[in-house]
Amino acid sequence: MLYYNLHTHKATGQPDIFELVNQYPQEFDAEILKYSIGIHPWHIAENRIDEDFKIIEEQLLDKNCLAIGECGLDKRTEVPFDLQEDVFRKHLALAEKFQKPIVIHCVASFQEIIKIKNEMNVCVPMIIHGFSKKQELAKQLLDNGFYLSFGKYLLRNPELESVFQSVPNDRFLLETDTVEEKIQEVYQVASRYKNIALNSLKDTVETNFRTIFSEK
């Protein structure tokens, strides 16, 4: 039974881990087995947006490209917010066109993300990666159809225990993102918080992953 890692920036190649590796258009590595691709809001370069989206659209035809992202909105970066919104909407339009899930980076912009999703009537799965906020926001996101992925903050912030426990078992995923901690460590904490055996948790996450990504 595999460990499923929704979002990582570094492939480990371990045979017992299914990793969805984050890729950027300008740094695309064809050697990576399964990946998502998108423009991170920190890395939006206005002079090459068209070029980046051309690369993204080409890679979306690849069966190994499982998702779009990470992409999203971040009010704590210097990239103009209206430009971020425009680029995010383009990602969502592609996600609908190619019927790919979306891995979302969101900082202090959750209401805008929800509003845009509903305005555009996005039907493909949308996953907030690295969720670390309060239960009220988790519920609002879940009520609006989002999935939540938990990683480093689950390991480092004990206050997330009750938030994670409140998320239905069919609406979460687990990840490592950029941290040194292993996905096995995230699973151990998640298993304890959910009070279910590790193998049961692995089965739950695999089911969620296959549901979202239609992964055979």
User: Which residues are documented as binding site for a divalent metal cation?
Assistant: 70, 105, 129, 177
**Half-sphere exposure (Cβ direction) of 130: Cα atoms closer than 13 Å:** 16
Q: What burial letters (b/e) apply to 27-58, b meaning 16+ CB within 10 Å?
A: eeeeebebbbbbbbbeebeeeebeebbebbee
Edge-first strand order for the sheet with 102-107 is: 3-8, 17-23, 35-37, 65-74, 102-107, 126-128, 147-150, 172-174
Q: Which residues are annotated as a binding site?
A: 70, 105, 129, 177
Beta strands in 62-135 (DSSP E): 65-74, 102-107, 126-128
When computed from its CA atoms, the radius of gyration of the chain, rounded to whole angstroms, is 16
